[in-house]
Amino acid sequence: MKGGLLALCIVSFLVLIVACVPAQEAPTAAAAPKTESSSVAKTQTATTEQKPSGEIAADVKDLLSKHKTKITSVYYKYRGPETDINFYEFYVKGEKIKYKPSLEIKSLDMPGSYDAIFIDKLAKTAQSYCTAAYCAYKGKKADLVYDDAYIDTVFDWLAVTSAKKVGEEVIESRTTWKIETNKGTLWVDTFYGVPLKAESKGNVYRFEQLAVNSVTDADVTP
C-alpha cells in the first residue's frame, strides 16, 4: 500500500515538473533581404534600353558628308531673316566667303558705299568693299564685327549632332531628304548633300540657284 502510494506521488511530481517547463518558441524564418521594387527595376531597365541622344542614322550621315567629296566651292542665292524679302549672293570657297547684299535700295555713289562683304573664317575678319564697276569710290570701306557680319553658309547648317530622315520632297527640280536635326528641319539635296531650305525657330532659310565648283579664289578675295 505504502509502495503504491509512493509510486503515485513520484509520477505526479514528474508530471508537475514537465508542465512547468516553458515551451520553446518555434524558430522564425530569416527575413528576406530587401530588394528594389518592381517599378524601380522596370524604370532602370527602360533607362538602360533607351538609345543615347544625339544619334545620326548611317544613311543620313552619309548624305550630310557627301559635299566633302563633291564640292570644293559653291555659289547660291540666299534668303533668310537677315535679308528680309531680298536675296543675297553667296560665294564660298574653303574658309573664305563673299556675299553681296541686295542692291535694290543701295546706291554706290557715296564714299562709304559698299556692295560686298568679305569673310575670312580662319582670321575671324569681316570687311566691306565696293567692287562693282559703277562704284564711285572703289576699295575697302570698313572693318566689321565678325560675329555681326557672319551669316551661316550651307555648310554650317550641316554641322549637326542629331538627325533623322522624315520624308522626301522636290525643290527646284532637285530631290531632297527632309531631315529633322538639333538645328531645325533641313531639306538636303540628295546629289550634293547640301541644304536647299531650312526651318528653325519659326524662320525660313532658302538657298537657291545652287552652282557648285565654279567659285574662284578671286571671287572670295578682296
Length of the chain: 222
Burial of 177 (0-12, 13-18, 19+ CB in 10 A): buried
Q: Answer whether residue 70 is part of any domain.
A: yes
Structural domain count of the chain: 1
Q: Answer whether residue 95 is part of any domain.
A: yes
pLDDT in tens, 101-111: 986 656 899 99
pLDDT at 42 over 70: no
Q: Answer whether residue 36 is part of any domain.
A: no
Residue 58: phi and psi, rounded to 5, are: -60, -45
Q: Which residues pair with 89 in a beta bridge?
A: 77, 100
pLDDT in tens, 140-156: 999 999 999 999 999 99
pTM: 0.74
* Structural domain range at position 171: 58-220
**In the chain, % of residues over pLDDT 70:** 74
DSSP helix/strand/coil, 132:
coil
pLDDT at 97 over 50: yes
Q: Residue 215 belongs to a domain with what CATH number?
A: 2.50.20
Q: Answer whether residue 215 is part of any domain.
A: yes
Q: Answer whether residue 93 is part of any domain.
A: yes
Q: Which residues pair with 128 in a beta bridge?
A: 117, 142
Q: Answer whether residue 47 is part of any domain.
A: no
What the block records as the C-alpha cell of 197 is 531650305
Q: Are 136 and 113 in contact (CB under 8 A)?
A: yes
Distance from C-alpha of 113 to C-alpha of 150, rounded to nearest angstrom: 19
